[in-house]
Chains A and B, each alone.
Chain A
Amino acid sequence: QEQLVESGGGVVQPGGSVRLSCTASGFTFNNYGMHWVRQAPGKGLDWVAYVAFDGSYQYYADSVKGRFTISRDNSKNTLYLQMNSLRAEDTAVYYCVKDSHWSFDYWGQGTLVTVSS
């Protein structure tokens, strides 16, 4: 069955950087666009970024544009999110999500990123 496993979360200082990874299995990874969606503690869902199935284009939320970069390595079935210039408001659980029909079809269990000094 489909599986998405995120890693790379932890505590990072304001202004710092972190790279999240998401390893996919159970489906043909290079056939699907992929998203990152985040959820701050006790808050709602917040879309972060999208990358096309072949990595040819990306979309970003205004709140992360210029600071975050989404990418993928189809040879490794892996999705990435490079997060720079981190702020306290970036503290959240970050979910890796498979796209289908422009919706969030399947979600990983998430990895927590805490931005704090």
Chain B
Amino acid sequence: QSALTQPASVSGSPGQSITISCTGTSSDVGGYDHVSWYQQHPGKAPKLMTYEVINRPSGVSNRFSGSKSGNTASLTISGLQAEDEADYYCSSFTSFKNWVFGGGTKLTVL
């Protein structure tokens, strides 16, 4: 089972919006709505940011939004803030009865 494909890095200035893509196949991202996104600051455990493509857990800012089209999911962060600088990972449940992660994207706030 191959990892989902994410860009290695993205960057943006405070106040701007950025989008991180996550490309899979019809066996994972394209076949299920069990796509989720995670934020990880250095030395910390990951934190769930969105689940089932578009849903946000309680307490997560509405500046974070998820979407999906075909085999590609996306995480958009609007109104970038310095505290958003972190690594971001996507994940999907798959038809092989397992879960797969993307390789991770490092977000830099300029």
- Give the residue of B45, B57, B97, B101 whose beta carbon is less than 8 angstroms from that of A59: B97
Q: Does any Cβ of A come within 8 Å of B47's Cβ?
A: yes
- Give the residue of A47, A95, A110 whose beta carbon is less than 8 angstroms from that of B91: A47
Known: A45-B38, A45-B46. A101 touches B101 (CB 8 A): no
- Give the residue of A46, A108, A109 whose beta carbon is less than 8 angstroms from that of B101: A46
Q: Does any Cβ of A come within 8 Å of B31's Cβ?
A: no
Q: How large is the interface on A (under 10, 10 to 19, 20 to 34, 35 or more residues)?
A: 20 to 34
Residue of A nearest to B103 (CB): A44
Closest chain A CB from B38 CB (angstroms): 7
Q: How large is the interface on B (under 10, 10 to 19, 20 to 34, 35 or more residues)?
A: 20 to 34
| CA of A16 to CA of B1, assembled, Å | 26
Closest chain A CB from B68 CB (angstroms): 14
Residue of A nearest to B46 (CB): A107
Closest chain A CB from B103 CB (angstroms): 5
| Residues in A lying within 8 Å of B, measured CB to CB | 35, 44-47, 50, 59-62, 95, 100-110
